[in-house]
Structure 1
Amino acid sequence: MIRAIPAGQVMGYGQVAARAGLPGRARLTARVLGTNDDPQLPWHRVLRADGRIAMPEGSRGWREQSQRLRAEGVVVERGRVRMPALDPAKALDAEIWGPR
């Protein structure tokens, strides 16, 4: 599911879990990402539901996530991203399956 999030877009941990068929398991998503060792996984596109980066502000991971998001054109202000007003699951479906 995380690999399917397009560059320049973000989703919340809970949204990722729900799209993976595990509604209510946002913490599981966070745990999986916390143990990830795959450098190709776009972990930086997953945020808290309110758009905040989940790592401690100013930490190496926080800075890296901010930099990666900005490199993809995502606006990050004080460690927060404005979450999409549209349902990201629908946008993601359109990205994967094309327009309806």
Structure 2
Amino acid sequence: MLRDRALEKKLIVLQTLASIRSGELCSYAELARRSGYPGSARHIARLLHNCPDHLPWWRIIRADQRLGLNEHSSEGRLQCERLQQEGWHLHCGKLIHD
């Protein structure tokens, strides 16, 4: 039963993630809220760590407009590249739209 609820929560979050359009950013907390799980931002971050690559995980950032990943890590560089393709760039550590 608990496992079923966890799977259901994961599927809802991934469906919500899939609905985030190109060029749109969303914080971990906002994704949790949109998914119906306010206050679960840390859980969202853990879930996205193993997210299928075809879902737009790179559009999820911190509430302060910074990357949730280290921008110098391979994953952080990939997130930056994908966001740049959508019109975003880092300025003083924060994301700015072109």
Could you tell me the TM-score, scaled by structure 2's length? 0.76
Q: Which residues in structure 2 correspond to 1:50-65 (within 5 Å)?
A: 50-65=64-79
Matched, 1:80 2:94: yes
Summarize deviations over 1:40-98 as a string: whole Å, max 9, x none: 11000000000111112311111110110010112322442149xxxxxxxxxxxxxxx
Tell me the percent identity: 37
Give distance in 1, aligned partners of 2:88 and 2:49.
22
> What 5-or-longer segments of structure 1 have no aligned partner?
84-100
- The alpha-carbon deviation at position 35 of structure 1 amounts to 1.6
Corresponding residue for residue 34 of structure 2: 19
State the SS of the aligned residue for 2:88. coil
Q: Post-superposition, which runs of at least 4 consecutive aligned residues in structure 1 deviate over 6 A? A: none
Which structure dedicates a bigger proportion of its chain to helix? 2
Give distance in 1, aligned partners of 2:33 and 2:73.
28
Give distance in 1, aligned partners of 2:74 and 2:92.
15
The RMSD of aligned alpha carbons is 1.6
Give distance in 2, aligned partners of 1:80 and 1:31.
22
> What 5-or-longer segments of structure 2 have no aligned partner?
1-15
Paired residues of 2:26 and 2:61 also in contact (CA < 8 A): yes
Could you tell me the TM-score, scaled by structure 1's length? 0.75
State the SS of the aligned residue for 1:14. helix
Which structure dedicates a bigger proportion of its chain to strand? 2
